[in-house]
Copies of this chain bind each other. A is one copy, B any other.
Amino acid sequence: MSKRQIRLGAFVPGTSQHVAGWRHPQARPQDSHNLKYFIELAKTAERGLFDAYFLADVPVTVDPDTTPDLGLNGTFSAGLEPVSLFSALAAVTEHIGFIATASTTYEAPYNLARKFASLDHLSEGRAAWNVVTTSGSVVSKNYGINDALLPKERYERADEFIEVAQKLWDSWEDDAFEYNKQTGQFFTGEKLHPPRFKGKHLAVHGALNIARPPQGYPVIVQAGQSEDGRELAAKYAEVIFTAQQKLEDAQAFYRDVKSRLIKYGRHADDLKIMPGVSIFVAQTEAEARAKYDELNAYIHPTLGLNLLKQLGGFTEDLSQFDLDQTLPEHLTQAQNGASRQQLILEIARKNNFTIRQLYQWVASARGHWTLIGTPEQIVDQLQAWFENEAADGFNILPPTTPASLDDFVDLVVPELQRRGLFRTAYEGKTLRENLGLKRPENQYVLEKRHTSQAS
């Protein structure tokens, strides 16, 4: 068996991952709806031999009624739909996979299964679906639903959704289509399998109107950290995108999820855990730190304070205090007991951060692990996680697009390769082949085989 190597996802929104990344001199927010720009980004990622390009998605945007800093917080306000963008990129790339996010709460299985099968055909086997359940009643109002499903129900629905999506992808056996010009037989009737699915939340009667995807199913990716999220991942996911800040936490998560696989008849290798990591890299540590400071200086104070207030769970208006002093005493006590608030207060205390430094830290990391340093320093860290049961790979979150993606490809990838931790050429043609995942068999073919063996 070949040596275990790091898998890499490029999590690269057109407008940058860092809230102020778009203000970087090289950033091109004006190109955030421009295909040519995304072609450049995809080609850079492909040059860096990334397994996949990853796009998040939530069917909602900022709202005048609920966004206090309207106009400042634009990073995720608007953008291209992932499956259509990736379809376009499939036409002009050769190797890189495409992980598109789509919600089990706000789509119909028939439509979602169809579009992902389509992307898998268009890309000749490079599609992946990041299964999200999409929290929040704000989103549900965009679908005419007044009350969002409870988290529990969202995950129940997600479970049914993946089950029926897999049935839909199995509608046609791989060799169902004969295209026999001599006999006039277009397909073999016995190789067509409508799902006839009736669940608690979903029902689908007929077969999918597209041939089985080249990969069998697109790769199933999952992002969700709760108990229900982990269980769903253990049952179905082949890649997990997770937010982990510390080695020990990442290890605990890694072991917990991997240990859940057995009861679903799965092997630890069937699931690749890939935490997100935001990287500021340069030839010297000072330069890397300067890149970090530069982006943070671009954070508009109004925006930074709002993010700090929101994520930290503060109730008072923070702009009344001197931003270059530490948090006033009465705010340094836990306010709502949430783990994120505790983390923020702990960071403030430990680093003796001023309010400005604190909001910069909050706004910059946004829940993800952040590394600042030389290529060697960065790779030391990645290697430690990779070799100590904390990660099978990483989703790289370049803080500013395109500069930090270029930096990663030009500086970090060679160092990973030098240490034998990363490929020097794509191994396979499909995303599954590159990730080292097997192609799932058609469930109806398996069934037939079992039935015929039993009789």
Contacts and interface: CB of A to CB of B under 8 A. Distances in A.
Interface of A: 20, 22-23, 25, 27, 29-30, 33-35, 39, 58-65, 70-81, 83-85, 87-92, 106-108, 110-111, 114-115, 117-119, 121-122, 124, 138, 141-144, 171-172, 177-179, 181, 184-189, 192, 194, 202-211, 298, 300, 303
A80 B118 contact: yes
A83 B58 CA distance: 19
A254 to B, nearest CB: 33
A164 B179 CA distance: 42
A110 B79 CA distance: 14
Nearest to A29: B179
Given A84-B84, A89-B91, A144-B203, 8 more contacts: A22-B179, A61-B208, A64-B192, A77-B186, A84-B122, A87-B87, A106-B111, A141-B206
Number of copies: 2
B210 A142 contact: no
Nearest to A108: B143
A138 B206 contact: yes
16 contacts: A22-B179, A22-B186, A33-B121, A35-B121, A59-B110, A61-B209, A64-B189, A70-B189, A71-B185, A71-B187, A75-B186, A78-B208, A78-B210, A81-B114, A87-B88, A142-B204
B110 A142 contact: yes
B35 A206 contact: no
A25 to B, nearest CB: 8
Given A87-B87, A111-B107, A141-B205, A184 B80 contact: no
Contact of A35 (B80, B90, B185, B194): B90
A72 B207 contact: no
A78 B118 CA distance: 11
A118 B84 CA distance: 7
Closest CB pairs A-B (n = 6): A74-B186, A144-B203, A141-B205, A70-B189, A184-B300, A87-B87
Contacts of A124: 35
A92 to B, nearest CB: 5
Which of A91, A143, A172, A194 has the most chain B CB atoms closer than 10 A to its own CB?
A91
Which of A23, A73, A124 has the most chain B CB atoms closer than 10 A to its own CB?
A23
A122 B88 contact: yes
A296 to B, nearest CB: 13
B20 A184 contact: yes
A48 B316 CA distance: 65
A79 B33 contact: no
B30 A179 contact: yes
Nearest to A70: B189
B209 A60 contact: yes
Which of A33, A59, A87 has the most chain B CB atoms closer than 10 A to its own CB?
A87
A16 B241 CA distance: 42
Nearest to A90: B88
Which of A115, A121, A171 has the most chain B CB atoms closer than 10 A to its own CB?
A121
B188 A71 contact: yes
A53 to B, nearest CB: 14
A355 to B, nearest CB: 18
A75 B208 CA distance: 14
A122 B187 contact: no
A186 B110 CA distance: 37
Contact of A210 (B80, B89, B118, B209): B80
Contacts of A20: 184
Contacts of A63: 194, 206-207
A144 B202 contact: yes
